[in-house]
Amino acid sequence: MDRRPIGVFDSGVGGLTVLREIMKIVPNENILYFGDTARVPYGPRDLEEVKKFVFKIVSFLYEKQVKLIVIACNTSTAAALSDLKVKFDIPVIGVIEPGARASVRVTKNKKVGVIATKGTVESKAYDNEIAKIDPSIRMYSQPAPLLVDYIENGILKGKKLKETIRNYLLPLLAENIDALILGCTHFPLVEGQIADCCGSRVDVISSAVETAKDVEEVLTGEKIAVGTNPKPERTFYETGGNSKFFEVGKMFLGEEIKEVVKINLGI
């Protein structure tokens, strides 16, 4: 039995969708969640700048003696995953590789689409990851910044949202993709609307779900699962002053967040 917590972080509250899936699959695990709400969003930022933020956050979680780090942010994964694996002596899981593997598994015509932030698209992280598995697959990527804004503001349905989704997806659907990766942790909240726009011929892949499966696999493989734990602890940290955790926690996580600890990392 390993009672050390799992550390999960994102630039803000979007990573709560990943945490929600982790809690479904490994409900007994203790969790530390960190949202860098003072610097959100990461998507438009330079990846070198994002990497500096990420190393500060992971160092903080490491000092809290976490047993596993989950980067619940596509932009952070693209910016820092490989370097984090070298620097720290605990398992580190990002959201890109699990989603990439799933898309390779389901595509039949070898045409895969990605909707994500500008930073993730420009990093070509999904392109590179999928090319490692099957270089014959063709990738089509679309940044969707407005979609992130709508979800952050609680706009999860309606004509305006539907039209925005449609405009982002049309170029990808025109390429005859048959798999679409939700390359931003916000997007699972509107997965139904995205799937409706795609139609039955496109498999929509949530990186959040696939990442949670990887977490369970690592916990089991490394023999660091907590085992029996009737009262798992969830602790939430943030850097910003105007918390959205209480406002959107239930929407993103599926349950209320009662306390968020404010900290300053000196970034």
Q: With the C-alpha atoms ordered 18, 60, 66, 90, is the resulting torsion angle positive or negative?
A: positive
Other C-beta atoms lying within 10 Å of the C-beta of residue 259: 9
- The closest alpha carbon to 29, from 45, 11, 5, 64, belongs to 5
Tell me the backbone φ, ψ of residue 178, rounded to 5 degrees. Answer: -125, 5
CB 73 within 8 A of CB 9: yes
Q: With the C-alpha atoms ordered 129, 110, 147, 24, is the resulting torsion angle positive or negative?
A: negative
Q: Rounded to an integer, what distance in angstroms lies between the CA atom of residue 251 and that of residue 43?
A: 21
Q: What share of the chain is helix, strand, coil (3-state, %, to 5)?
A: 45, 15, 35
Question: How far lies 203's CA from each of 17, 140, 214, 222, in Å?
Answer: 19, 15, 20, 31
Structure tokens at 235: 């602790």
Q: Rounded to an integer, what distance in angstroms lies between the CA atom of residue 112 and that of residue 118?
A: 18
Residues that are catalytic: 73, 184
What single string gives the DSSP state of each residue in 107-144? -SSSEEEEEE-HHHHHHTHHHHHHHHH-TT-EEEEEE-
Q: Rounded to an integer, what distance in angstroms lies between the CA atom of residue 122 and that of residue 138?
A: 16
